[in-house]
Structure formats: structure tokens, C-alpha cells
Amino acid sequence: MKNLSIEEFINGFQNDHNAVIIDVRTIEEEAEGLIPNSLNINLMEPSFPEKVMDLDKSKDYYVYCRSGGRSATACQFMEKQGLTSFNLVGGIGAWNSFNAKG
């Protein structure tokens, strides 16, 4: 797992042909905003491990949550399953602030 700033995260998934963006928040939290084309796999759901184990190991996973804590936990689990993951430090809050700058 690698922790990325918002700039590194955006640059990473935009220039990575194997990128998949994963939102590990609850469906209710999506009201705070979404990164376009992200796949929701809620870390708090009992099915989270099973869904992660079904992911394609040839892809690179860019993971976010509200502030970066749950996504870091998710990334650690994903790495143990042989997946490549990148954690967005600051989560959707960092995304929203970055995009508010214009």
C-alpha cells in the first residue's frame, strides 16, 4: 500500500491503464460526493473480504473513504490478498477541496 496525496492519486489513476477506483464508504456517505467511475465496496459490510478476493489481481486499486483511515485499512487487507493498492490521504474531503479550487 502506498499513501498518496490528492495530486498523486489523481495523476496515478489518470495515467494508469490498469486503474480501478474503489470507494469503501457506506452508501449513505456517498451524499458527501463521489469520485467519478468509482466502485463501492463498503469496508463495514460482512461481504467486504469476499468482494476483495474476487478482484482482478492484474489491476491497480485506488482506494478512498471519508478521510483516509478506512481506506488505509482496506488497502492493508487488499495487499495481503496480493492486490496493488493506493490510499488517498484525506479521502473524499481532499477530493472535494481539490475540485473546489477549480
- Catalytic machinery residues: 65
Distance CA 70, CA 16 (A): 23
Distance CA 13, CA 17 (A): 8
Which CA distances in Å does 90 have to 81, 85, 94? 24, 16, 5
What own/partner pairs with CB < 8 Å and gap ≥ 24 does 11-17 have? 12/60, 12/62, 12/86, 13/62, 16/60, 16/62
